[in-house]
Structure 1
Amino acid sequence: MRSNSRPQEFHDDFYIPIPLDTDNLTLFSPYLVPQDHLGSKAMFMSMSALMFFLFVAGTAINILTIVCTAQYKKLRSHLNYILVNLAVANLLVSSVGSFTCFYCFAYRYMILGPIGCKIEGFTATIGGMVSLWSLAVVAIERYLVICKPIANFAFKGHHAIIGCVIPWIIALCAAIPPLCGWSRYIPEGLQCSCSPDWYTTGNKFNNESFVMFLFCFCFAVPFTTIIFCYSQLLFTLKSAARAQEQSASTQKAEREVTKMVVVMVLGFLVCWMPYASFAVWMVSNRGEQFDLRLATVPSCLSKASTVYNPIIYVFLNKQFRSCMMKMIFCGKNPFGDDEEASSQVTQVSSVSSSQVSPS
């Protein structure tokens, strides 16, 4: 289950980076036979069960987010439109990507063939990129509204539309090239999910340049944006808290947002850091040994974001959570959340906007 530097047989639709006792690697094609040489049946079944959970939970929670926003007028704020955009991207990944992986792990190979692999890889890439950049847009919105680097800035409908459209444009720029010859979509890890080719080098697909493009433009830029915006947000809120030490509401808002920011950043890192690190390591360490089972971990973590992103960005919002519980329990909220006119983040926005001068 480890790679070595020995040259392997090359195929346009897959790559097997492990030594096998045969000169015809087509016999081990991930599109034709179960990949039992990579792991036990129990491992494949466990992965299938995990993907089934992500498919069910991710699809349900994101549909619930979209329907809840449509049903309750008070949730149709400009910021929540971006969260709905995030939910749509997550729904795409969970309903297509996670379901495809569940099905293929159950059979222990990419039973849907090269076309199915390309569809799964494209869907996961475009959904993941929209999700990632939507998180960056949310961070930018919070920074502009609360920290007010631009005097009298108001986040309006056309800003929300731009914030929803741009992530899809960027995602298409990242997801289409492997279909057109710049890199390619092939089975990864246990060969039951697909992604851009992290493995091969020095071939006609120019994989190294594409991986570096993804790392720089689709990870480093949004990650830097998120860190900058949320760090400025924390500085602003702490200044407000120091200026109003006697205000219990200001102190509470500062603590709540600090907690949410930490959770948001950690969620982002858990989701995307393993994928980005693995891709860059593969490009920088050609020929080094690695366990293919570990290559499956980043894919699982990124698909798991379809579940924990809504939990972070929606369920930690009191207003959103209250409306969702009412919808689920037919007008009753068993958790007794406050019927506040605004969510935690909105509350902080009003506090900082009226009580903190722009820096």
Structure 2
Amino acid sequence: MSLNISSENSTGLTPFLSTYAYVVIGVLMTGASIVGIGLNGLFVYVFWRQTSLKTPTNYFILALSLLDFIMSLFGLPMVAISCFGKHWVFGAKGCVYYGFIMTFVGLSIITILATISFDRYIVIVKTHLKSMISQRVAVSMIIVCLLYGLAWAIAPLVGWSEYVLEGVSISCSVNWTSDTLNDASFSVAMLILCLLVPVGVILFCYGNIFYKVRRSGHNQTLSDSDRGSKMDRDVAKTILWMILAFIVSWSPYALLSMTAVIGGASTISPGLSVCPTILAKISVVWNPLIYSYRNREIRRSMLEFLPFLHCWLNLPCVRLQGQGQIRPDMYRNDTTGMVALPSTSTEGTQTTGKRLPKQGIQLEDECTELNKKAASMKTGNNPTSRLKVKADMFTVRN
């Protein structure tokens, strides 16, 4: 889909793009805002209702969700409204407000992602220091990250650079394109200290994590503590997916900003900045999607409090086919999936399709136990026992 430039005026009063292009961007921003508010708000609600989720790592995830929620609620709607108005409609004060919110949220998020990487580095690589990552320490680190992002967001308010319209005049940011010493020094300092340094920390931490996991994989005499660290490695993989999603979303915008700092305003046309800006703003939906999909405890908690999500979050642990026919090739000892409810209730009556969350959780545990029994009997010589275990398993969907 191409977005055609229709004007070269930078006052914000004459449209840069066609009406169709503004409507498309406005719809995308509206959708991202609604989905971001819903998903991140849901995660925050489940987190506070479920005590078992309040681990140090999940506190970092909660902070990310809160920041994405703030961006979705207070930032993206302003862009959407401006798109439908074909120019920035909130005036100079609104521009400063928007630029402050987006700068604070964006810099806080990447700093927290670097901090989570360091947390995984301590837990997996420096295991003797694992006990130092407590809830209090996690909360303290989050506060430091937020204060760091806040300090950089306040700087343009006190005279070091400024918040101005960017691109096609539907959003605001720091003045990347100015060649004055005041603006350029701020832009260079922020790119180094708020982008390159956090990314460097992430690369260092995950480089060491990858080396440790690879070395442990070649060790045939793993200790119990090494075997027990699989969950920590799974969490590290989830965090890595979230980091990659953030980097993919924000890298084009960062490269665009670096190009503007180095080459000045003449190197960046307004139309060229549209796609990187949109990609950066829709990043608010990735974190809750990734974490809720990969984290079993989150899925279980969501099912417990919001059972209507059963069809979306429920994953099969065993699949059968036909009238009681078992397909051995579909069997897998998967303890990370979710279990379906049986076709009949405990009273032997046919279910209506409505699921109670506690039943789903109980049946998930039962399915996991059955998988373990089936695996233990796989090499046994008792066909009757193996048949009994297979008969106890049921399908998720016909």
State the TM bucket, normalised to the shorter chain.
0.7 to 0.9
Aligned equivalent of 2:314: 335
**Aligned residue identity for 1:225:** V
User: Higher relative CO (CA 8 A, sep ≥ 6), structure 1 or 2?
Assistant: 1
Aligned equivalent of 1:82: 60
Confirm whether residue 229 of structure 1 aligns to residue 211 of structure 2.
no
1:278 corresponds to which of 256, 259, 266: 256
Asked whether the 8 Å contact 2:178–2:265 carries over to 1, the reply is: no
Aligned equivalent of 1:29: 11
Aligned equivalent of 1:65: 43
Aligned equivalent of 2:352: none
**Aligned residue identity for 2:204:** F
Q: Unaligned 5+ residue runs, structure 1?
A: 4-17, 21-27, 342-359
* Closer, same or farther: CA 97–91 of 1 in aligned 2, 3 Å: same
**Aligned residue identity for 1:29:** T
Aligned equivalent of 2:215: 239
Larger radius of gyration: 2
Work out the CA distance in 2 between the residues paired with 1:138 and 1:250: 20
Q: How does 1:248-327 map to 2 (within 5 A)?
A: 260=238, 263-286=241-264, 288-327=266-305
Aligned equivalent of 1:210: 186
Work out the CA distance in 1 between the residues paired with 2:165 and 2:128: 46
1:279 aligned counterpart, secondary structure: helix
**Aligned residue identity for 1:283:** V
* Equivalenced residues, count: 314
Asked whether the 8 Å contact 1:275–1:299 carries over to 2, the reply is: yes
Aligned equivalent of 2:175: 197
Q: How does 1:32-47 map to 2 (within 5 A)?
A: 33=13, 35-36=14-15, 38-47=16-25
Give, in angstroms, the shift of residue 311 of structure 1: 2.1
Q: How large is the RMSD of aligned CA atoms in angstroms?
A: 3.1
Aligned equivalent of 1:163: 141
Work out the CA distance in 2 between the residues paired with 1:65 and 1:73: 13
* Closer, same or farther: CA 209–234 of 1 in aligned 2, 3 Å: same
Give, in angstroms, the shift of residue 220 of structure 1: 0.7
1:131 aligned counterpart, secondary structure: helix
Work out the CA distance in 2 between the residues paired with 1:62 and 1:80: 13
Normalization by structure 2: what TM-score?
Answer: 0.71
Give, in angstroms, the shift of residue 224 of structure 1: 0.7
**Aligned residue identity for 1:134:** I
Work out the CA distance in 1 between the residues paired with 2:294 and 2:241: 10
Asked whether the 8 Å contact 1:185–1:196 carries over to 2, the reply is: yes
Asked whether the 8 Å contact 2:122–2:129 carries over to 1, the reply is: no
Q: Unaligned 5+ residue runs, structure 2?
A: 316-336, 339-360, 366-398
Asked whether the 8 Å contact 2:124–2:229 carries over to 1, the reply is: no
Work out the CA distance in 1 between the residues paired with 2:8 and 2:211: 54
Work out the CA distance in 2 between the residues paired with 1:297 and 1:258: 30
Work out the CA distance in 2 between the residues paired with 1:111 and 1:332: 42
Give, in angstroms, the shift of residue 133 of structure 1: 1.1
2:137 aligned counterpart, secondary structure: helix
Give, in angstroms, the shift of residue 67 of structure 1: 0.4
**Aligned residue identity for 1:93:** M
Cα deviations by residue, 1:121-178 (Å, 9 ceiling, x for unpaired):
1111111111111111111111111111654543112211112101111111110111
Cα deviations by residue, 1:159-205 (Å, 9 ceiling, x for unpaired):
111121011111111101111111111111110111111112227xx
Work out the CA distance in 2 between the residues paired with 1:209 and 1:2: 33
1:297 aligned counterpart, secondary structure: helix
